[in-house]
Chains A and B, each alone.
Chain A
Amino acid sequence: AQSVSQHNHHVILSEAASLELGCNYSYGGTVNLFWYVQYPGQHLQLLLKYFSGDPLVKGIKGFEAEFIKSKFSFNLRKPSVQWSDTAEYFCAVISYSSASKIIFGSGTRLSIRP
């Protein structure tokens, strides 16, 4: 079955620490990949996206993600987190063969200690 896995359920870091959140998917074929962020009490906002080309994509607020096709992974990274990065992070996938169906991972809660 098609799925998206985020292995880190809750990550707690101190400010200035480096961040990497894992995301793996099980779709075959061509996919588009996304990371969304949901700040407390708010809606989902797009952090970054991969459609094609350079597998290392840069997003807003200093986030980046690397698409590794051989590993079916799209991990999110940030070299130095801030307290304001406290939020829920969702990886999402849409495959060309199942258009109209964006599937989300279960989310990773990121808590930053000031």
Chain B
Amino acid sequence: DTAVSQTPKYLVTQMGNDKSIKCEQNLGHDTMYWYKQDSKKFLKIMFSYNNKELIINETVPNRFSPKSPDKAHLNLHINSLELGDSAVYFCASSQEGQGNTEAFFGQGTRLTVV
């Protein structure tokens, strides 16, 4: 069973479209993340949710809107897609607490905006 699963794996779309990426984790974790990996492999945190509540929003354009219907899901909706949004987006989860926290990553979604 996949611990953290994202769909779709690949997404090619035109500028200006709206798209969503879904993420689900079956690890029972209470914290989920979205990371963006650019073409230089740099990993930047975008959002962090703990028990469905937004904890971190790292200066991400408001075209990006995360939604967490329950603590096992964290979806990412992107409005008015731009060329610069092309990247690989990784979902991750971890168990919050004092220490002993490691993140488990999904397979990634390669988004290409044309």
Q: Which A residues contact B (CB, under 8 angstroms)?
A: 30, 32, 34, 36, 38, 42-46, 49, 51-52, 88, 90, 92, 94, 96, 99-104, 106-107, 109
Contact = CB atoms under 8 A, between A and B. Distances in A.
Given A34-B102, A90-B43, A100 B90 contact: no
B45 A32 contact: no
A99 B42 contact: no
A43 B103 CA distance: 12
Contacts of B42: 106-107
Interface size band for B: 20 to 34
Contact of A101 (B48, B98, B104): B48
Q: Which of A51, A94, A101, A102 has the most CB of B within 10 A?
A: A102
Q: Which of B43, B55, B98 has the most CB of A within 10 A?
A: B43
Nearest to A31: B99
A3 B38 CA distance: 18
Interface of B: 31, 33, 35, 40-45, 48, 50, 55-56, 90, 92, 94, 96-108
B107 A51 contact: no
21 contacts: A32-B99, A34-B102, A42-B107, A43-B90, A44-B43, A44-B90, A52-B99, A88-B41, A90-B43, A92-B103, A99-B96, A99-B101, A100-B48, A100-B50, A101-B48, A103-B45, A104-B43, A106-B40, A106-B42, A107-B43, A109-B41
Interface of A is mostly: strand
The 8 A-B pairs of least Cβ separation, nearest first, read A104-B43, A100-B55, A44-B105, A100-B48, A107-B41, A43-B105, A43-B107, A43-B108
B99 A96 contact: yes
Given A42-B107, A100-B55, A107-B43, 8 more contacts: A32-B101, A34-B103, A36-B105, A88-B41, A94-B101, A101-B45, A106-B41, A107-B41
A36 B94 CA distance: 14
A102 B96 contact: no
B90 A51 contact: no
A101 B56 contact: yes
A98 B106 CA distance: 23
